[in-house]
Chain A
Amino acid sequence: MKLLELLGYFNYWVFAIVLTVGLYAVISKANLIKKLIGLSIFQSAVFLMYITMDKVEGGTAPIIQAGVEDQVFSNPLPQVLILTAIVVGVSTLALGLAMVVRIKESYGTIEENEILDAD
């Protein structure tokens, strides 16, 4: 049973590792597109944490089935927050990519150190 209890935290560990992997890409990579990819990994890790919190033991997706008594549902609230956050995430990511495209057109490069040198 001890092992299973530990595995209950596995999702959170994955969240922590994926989050830091994304953060690593944001701070250490000089390529702007690589930074944005890292940012979207970071964001996905946060989504994973929220959705992990919504799970209830023995629960089902929060859709009421007619004629079934005493159903246990997972928590709908984190799902709603993340559902909208995914769509907002892709639009803001596109905004970032649009800026990168314009930077490329103005500076001729998307490597951060080369842009700083050009300034």
Chain B
Amino acid sequence: MIDLVIDVLSWILLILGGSCVLIGGVGGLRLPNFYTRIHASSLTDTMGNILIFLGLMLQAGFTLATLKLFAVMLFLLLTGPTATYALANAALLSGIKPDTGSTNDDNTEESPK
């Protein structure tokens, strides 16, 4: 019984995590400009990562594999957002202006490829 509950729970987590990754991917393709795109793809780094690894840890049970998965999750949680930060910073330095959406009427610089 308890096995079944854990199995179902882990699959729910895995499917939720998979959906987060999918949403991140769709957002990366569909959103209008660079900064919104990396905002979408950072969903993959954080939410998708946590949910998928929690699901996998439930599958693994109390073994050494769980500890390893936890370590990998921590590593990805540290590096993923850092990479996103570095990417956004590099974009800002190379001259892509964030579209604040407020008063700028001459919006000529939007949606850089």
Asked whether any CB of A lies within 8 Å of a CB of B in the complex, the reply is no
